[in-house]
């Protein structure tokens, strides 16, 4: 089955987004994209505006391998990508391989059975606030992380504003207030929170997102939209 360019582009968008947050387990299925990293700390879950895949579903792992092979084939003349479908007459067909072809070149990438790739189908949290995060705050977070050698960042929302805090091994503190307030997503909703996240993961997201905001849930999950996908970062205890 030959894939059209829009299908190829969507697969690449999902894969490139997952790579930013070190996710190597992805499922694209009807009306749903879901993925999770090995430490179960970052999740992609998108259930709107997911284009139908002509092969049904596909499980993707070894995504560095996929991108390396794609990088070879796409530079050649007359590049195309085919999907080999397992029983396309069944109720739940899936692609067992993607084959990249060009003039004189053929590279196969064997996919994963979607049933064997474990990723959640729902997020057990409800977003309660939206917080603007301007580009200058991203720069300061990056510099602060380098200066403090911190692995985690604590984001705090109080009546005085929204800030991030970094701590070094001696418990010295770097604090920067980047927003006057958090916006409640429910009328009269609580806007206060204090949650700890892996700083390098947030930086990977914040440096790429064009939206300039993130959302935080009642249970502390941070959601950042990126490339049309909802990326969730779980808080650290």
Do 105 and 150 have their domain in common? no
pLDDT at 89 over 70: no
Could you read off the pLDDT of 191-233 as tens digits, one per residue? 999 999 999 999 999 999 877 999 999 999 999 999 999 999 9
Q: What is the CATH number of the domain that holds 40?
A: 3.10.150
Tokens of 205: 């997201």
Query: Which tokens sit at 41?
Result: 């700390």
Q: Are residues 147 and 213 in the same domain?
A: yes
| CA contacts within 13 A on the Cβ side of 192 | 3
| Cα separations in angstroms, 31 against 12, 53, 195, 208 | 17, 9, 31, 25
Q: What is the DSSP letter of 174?
A: E
Q: Tens digit of pLDDT for each residue in 128-144? A: 999 999 999 999 999 99
Domain check: are 102 and 10 in the same one?
Answer: yes
Residue 152 and residue 95 share a domain: no
Mean per-residue pLDDT for 23-34? 96
Residues of the domain holding 214:
127-233
Residues 178 and 220 in one domain: yes
Q: Are residues 76 and 136 in the same domain?
A: no
State how far the Cα of 8 lies from the Cα of 70, in Å rounded to an integer: 11
Kind of pairing between the strands at 127-132 and 229-233: unpaired
Q: β-strand 58-60 against 80-86: which pairing, if any?
A: unpaired
Residue 41 counted as domain residue: yes
Task: Mention every residue, 6+ apart, whose C-beta is less than 8 A from residue 119.
Answer: 25, 26, 27, 34, 35, 36, 43, 45
* Residue 156: per-residue pLDDT: 98
In angstroms, what CA-CA distances link 174 with 18, 28, 38, 170, 235? 29, 40, 30, 12, 19
CB 163 within 8 A of CB 156: yes
In a domain, 178, yes or no: yes
Give the count of alpha carbons within 13 A of 66, CB side only.
Answer: 24
Task: Extract the tokens encoding 129.
Answer: 């606030």
Total domains present in the chain = 2
**CA separation for the pair 16, 30 (Å, rounded):** 20
Q: What is the CATH number of the domain that holds 223?
A: 3.10.150.10
- pLDDT at 211 (0 to 100): 78
Residue 122 lies in a domain: no
């Amino acid at each position: 089955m030959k894939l059209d360019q829009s299908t190829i582009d969507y697969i690449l968008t999902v894969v490139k987004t997952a790579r930013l947050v070190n996710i190597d387990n992805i499922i694209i299925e009807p009306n749903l994209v879901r993925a999770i990293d090995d430490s179960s700390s970052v999740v992609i879950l998108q259930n709107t505006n997911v284009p139908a895949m002509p092969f049904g579903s596909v499980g993707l792992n070894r995504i560095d391998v996929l991108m390396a092979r794609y990088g070879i084939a796409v530079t050649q003349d007359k590049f195309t990508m085919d999907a080999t479908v397992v029983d396309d007459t069944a109720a739940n067909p899936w692609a067992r391989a993607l084959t990249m072809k060009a003039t004189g070149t053929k590279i196969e990438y064997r996919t994963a059975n979607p049933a064997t790739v474990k990723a959640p189908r729902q997020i057990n949290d409800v977003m309660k606030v939206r917080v603007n995060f301007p580009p200058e705050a991203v720069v300061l977070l990056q510099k602060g992380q380098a200066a403090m050698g911190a692995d985690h960042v604590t984001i705090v929302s109080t009546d005085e504003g929204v800030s991030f805090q970094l701590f070094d091994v001696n418990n010295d503190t770097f604090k920067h207030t980047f927003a006057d307030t958090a916006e409640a997503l429910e009328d009269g909703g609580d806007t206060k929170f204090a949650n700890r996240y892996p700083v390098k993961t947030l930086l990977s997201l914040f440096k790429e997102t064009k939206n300039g905001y993130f959302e935080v849930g009642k249970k502390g999950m941070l959601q950042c939209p990126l490339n049309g996908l909802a990326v969730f970062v779980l808080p650290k205890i």
